[in-house]
Amino acid sequence: MEFIRRGLLCSLAIFLCLPAFAQSTDINRYTLFTGFDYLISPARDLTERGFEGDFGVTLKPWLGVGGDFSAIGNGIISGAGAINGNETVFAPILKPYIDPGSVNVPFKSTTYTFAVGPQFYIRHWEKITLLVRPGFGGIHESADIAFPAQLAYLFGQLGVSPPNPHQSDTQWFIGIGGGFDLNVSRRVGWRLATDYVNTHLFSNLLVPRQNYWRFSTGPTFRWGHLK
């Protein structure tokens, strides 16, 4: 959270001064982005792929507002997408009997994100537009966890109710992201962007917070005229 706060403060401090930069005057009013998403959560070795949609309204040459929605699924569990026993609330219970760090439980998951907020632009160049976007939103993840049979047996011997293998959770977040548009024409561009979120999903099962990095790319379509 401290990383996010510093990033937001730095972004606002820099981009409040953007009107001083040279800006293009031939600017579209509306922007629609749709593209491919690649989401990772390093602590759980989670990798997901999906699609994102983003709609924005330009208020000033250097400022827009909008929101995005992404649906990302099919977490890869071939040597990845695993929960380590040390990261769970059950680690203290298991430690007298087994090493929790030796337990890695695979899972599959689907993640949805939605966010709204400002988008700051640098239009100093004709062929490329830089952007930074702090955002407020939510993240929803559902997971199917493949608990091994021996772990279920151990829970039974300890008189502990095993966790539900089908988990879902939703949390709010404040995130930050940025990227650039390659301007093919006045109405069409190609965007590459990265977004970062820190949150705490599945707090009933996982102790640490999770970092999420989302990489997206795809076309942008622009229309209207900024008066």
Instruction: Kindly state the tokens that stand for 212.
Output: 């999420």
Using CA atoms, how far residue 164 sits from 113, 126, 161, in Å, is 23, 54, 9
Nearest to 39 by CA among 197, 199, 206, 208: 197
Q: Give the predicted TM-score (pTM) of the model.
A: 0.84
Domain-by-domain residue ranges, the chain? 2-140+149-223
- How many Å is the Cα radius of gyration of the chain? 21
pLDDT at 219: 97
Answer for the pair 209, 200: CB distance below 8 angstroms, yes or no: yes
Residue ranges of the chain with per-residue pLDDT less than 70? 1-25, 73-80
Q: Could you tell me which residues come within 8 angstroms of residue 49 by beta carbon, excluding any fewer than 6 positions away? A: 36, 37, 38, 39, 72, 73, 74
Instruction: Kindly state the tokens that stand for 116.
Output: 């709204």
pLDDT at 134: 94
pLDDT at 18: 47
What is d(CA 26, CA 36) in angstroms, rounded to the nearest whole number?
A: 28
Please name the fold of domain 2-140+149-223.
Answer: Porin (2.40.160)
Q: What does the pLDDT look like over 93-118, one tens digit per residue?
A: 889 888 989 888 888 888 999 999 99
pLDDT at 44: 87
pLDDT at 6: 54
